[in-house]
Chains A and B, each alone.
Chain A
Amino acid sequence: MEIRWHILLIIIGASIVTLIPRVVPLMVLSRINIPDWALRWLSYVPVAVMAALVGEELLLVDGRFSPFQNHIELIAAAPTFLTAILTRSLLGTVLVGIVSVMLLRMFL
């Protein structure tokens, strides 16, 4: 039961960089105009960052490209993607992903 110094530093830093994108547009956007190209660039950031993260999680092992070591995650990604496309539910997607990996680890 303790708080370590470097963990506290990480938590405070992470909370500040989480807060800024959440509040700055709401606070200033009614006053100033963000240039059109910047808005268009920003509109592609969510897709880019999520795809990069999914690629990293599924295809890299310890930071190296080794898709065949992660075969359980890769197989589980199929029903997970399918659930997301069909239900558009974050909860359903996470649950199907977790259960798929659990079952695959039990039987493979």
Chain B
Amino acid sequence: MVQENIQLHKQDVNIREDSFLQGVKDCIPTLLGYLSIGFAAGVVGNTSGLSIIEITLMSLLIYAGSAQFIVSGMIASHGSPASIILTVFIVNLRHLLLSAALSPYFSRLAPVKTLLIGSLLTDETFGVAINKTADKDYISEKWMHGLNITAYLNWIVATLAGAFLGQWITNPEKFGLDFALPAMFIGLLVIQFVSRGKIAKDLVVAISAVVIVLGTSFFLSGSIAIIVATVIAATLGMVVEKWK
């Protein structure tokens, strides 16, 4: 009886500390990151010739910095819709892993509810959520919504601000804003390296990916080269792992 009481009490505390509001609070440390990258995405979208409505629609529907940069850049260089969508797909394939890693913590929820959670999943919200799992075997649904919705709204505000102010920033190159995308990829690449602890194998994969992109660029267009390099380099990583 005593033990049961303690158990109940513990659950009570868990439910209270994992409220929607707690999710909002736990999102705050990431907000500055969303603001600056979203701002840059808005400015770059503007200088790529996209209207404010188009930029807002991108943030509402796509909600992914790297994808939005790629869409803006490829529209500016007159890429075909099919090649743009395919490139976005390849870049966002990494979300498969984030979603898969979170799935055990939401196994108690109905598929429709996990659909809502997954649709607002980003690199940053994943980082915050996976930290929460250190001492628990599930994540509160309300808490996750608080985290996700705060990040989502902040992203929309940031891209809108960038899109509006971008009208006065006629040459974003002068302020280095065009480098926001490569810098973001560098950051994501390094964070992957550090968090996985497979430095040697990852290095083989990364170097071969770069070499394949350079080699195939002579006869393939940019987005196709990225896809070919990703498929071959990831396969190479799997093979190297088998050898060990």
Chain A interface residues toward B at CB < 8 A: 1-4, 6-15, 17-30, 34, 37, 39-60, 63-65, 73, 76-77, 80-81, 84-85, 88-91, 93-103, 105
The DSSP consensus for interface residues of chain A is helix
Chain B residue nearest in CB terms to A104: B176
The DSSP consensus for interface residues of chain B is helix
Q: With A54-B186, A63-B221, A88-B191 given, is the CB distance from A7 to B124 under 8 Å?
A: no
* B183 touching A96, Cβ below 8 Å: yes
A57 to chain B, nearest CB (A): 4
* A57 touching B181, Cβ below 8 Å: yes
Name 14 interchain pairs, CB-CB below 8 A, sorted by A: A7-B54, A11-B57, A18-B88, A48-B237, A52-B212, A53-B226, A54-B210, A55-B210, A56-B217, A63-B217, A65-B214, A85-B190, A90-B124, A105-B176
B53 to chain A, nearest CB (A): 5
A49 to chain B, nearest CB (A): 5
* A21 touching B93, Cβ below 8 Å: yes
Chain A residue nearest in CB terms to B101: A25
B36 at the interface (CB under 8 A from A): yes
In this complex, the member of A11, A27, A47, A76 whose beta carbon has the largest number of chain B beta carbons within 10 angstroms is A47
* B214 touching A55, Cβ below 8 Å: yes
Q: With A22-B121, A95-B36 given, is the CB distance from A30 to B104 under 8 Å?
A: yes
Which residues from chain B contact A42 at a C-beta distance below 8 Å?
93, 96-97, 100, 234
* B94 touching A45, Cβ below 8 Å: yes
B side interface size, CB within 8 A: 97
Assembled-state Cα–Cα distance A75/B188 (Å): 19
Assembled-state Cα–Cα distance A26/B112 (Å): 10
* B85 touching A47, Cβ below 8 Å: no
B153 at the interface (CB under 8 A from A): no
> Which of B96, B106, B114, B187 is in CB contact (< 8 Å) with A84?
B187
Within 8 A of A (CB), among B98-120: 98-100, 102-104, 106-107, 111, 114-115, 117-119
* A15 touching B61, Cβ below 8 Å: yes
B159 at the interface (CB under 8 A from A): no
Assembled-state Cα–Cα distance A51/B191 (Å): 12
4 A-B pairs with the lowest CB-CB distances in the bound complex, closest first? A97-B183, A101-B176, A55-B210, A44-B237
* B234 touching A60, Cβ below 8 Å: no
> Which of A13, A27, A47 is in CB contact (< 8 Å) with B202?
A47
B50 at the interface (CB under 8 A from A): yes
Assembled-state Cα–Cα distance A8/B178 (Å): 23
